[in-house]
Amino acid sequence: MKGVYFIGGIDTDVGKTAATGKLAQQLQQQGISVITQKLVQTGCLHDAEDILTHRKIMGIPLQEADRQRLTMPQVFAYPASPHLAAKLENRSVSLNSVTAATEQLAQQYDVVLLEGAGGLMVPLTEDCLSIDYVQQRQYPVILVTGGRLGSINHTLLSLSAIRQSGLTLHSVVFNHYHDSSDPLIAEESRRYLQNAVKQDFPQAEWVDLETLAW
């Protein structure tokens, strides 16, 4: 792996932050220079909570890039989609500042893992969805899914959006966090989705979050 990768989810609360942190941890253990970045963080007053979680999983303190806020260039207080959170503060989401920060990080690190906000179709601004921004930048996508009820539908819709946008699907990460709520649904979701990915995206990797065997 080298370059910038976008970590997207099929929905909110599906495990993007855990997946981002664990992947960064593994790359770090392999001797690869890696940093994580949050596209837009909502629901925070200062430091991006997701970045703090990444560093905890990676087992490292906040880095100089964090203190310079390159890893968290856009933070808003209200826990909502970025376009609404920004509107409530009479601000706008500056995607140019995000891009500039990512480019600076890419000059300092071999790999930048850019975690999105919510699902792929979340509006960053009135005119730009998350997937629009990723398409403009042509970042490979790492899609995080899971086994809760509804995940098959959400995942297939996300995969369809990735295909229609002409993006590269690097891998699909299956988060087992929700398995205990209904093991039958979780296992069938995993089986069905793994087959769908193998058929429609043969170049993409399938990864179980518990193992992260890249």
The C-alpha atoms of residue 94 and residue 78 are separated, in whole angstroms, by: 17
CA dihedral 39, 84, 134, 199 (to 10 degrees): 110
How far is Cα 90 from Cα 98, in angstroms, rounded to an integer?
19
* Residue 90 CB neighbour total at 10 angstroms: 6
Judge whether 3 is annotated as a binding position.
no
Is 17 annotated as a binding-site member? yes
CB 197 within 8 A of CB 204: yes
Q: Which two tokens stand for residue 133?
A: 């921004």
- Alpha-carbon gap, residue 116 to 37, rounded angstroms: 9
Extract the tokens encoding 28: 């770090």
38 is catalytic: yes
- The catalytic residue among 38, 56, 87, 198 is 38
Q: Is 187 labelled a binding residue?
A: no
Residue 69: left if φ>0, alpha if ψ -120 to 50, beta else—which one? left
* Residues in contact with 9: Cβ distance below 8 Å, sequence separation at least 6, in sequence order: 15, 16, 116, 118, 119, 120, 143, 144, 145
Do the annotations mark residue 42 as ligand-binding?
yes
Binding-site residues for Mg(2+) sit at 17, 50, 115
Binding-site residues for ATP sit at 50, 115-118, 175-176
Q: Which residues are catalytic?
A: 38
Binding-site residues for substrate sit at 42
Binding-site residues sit at 17, 42, 50, 115-118, 175-176
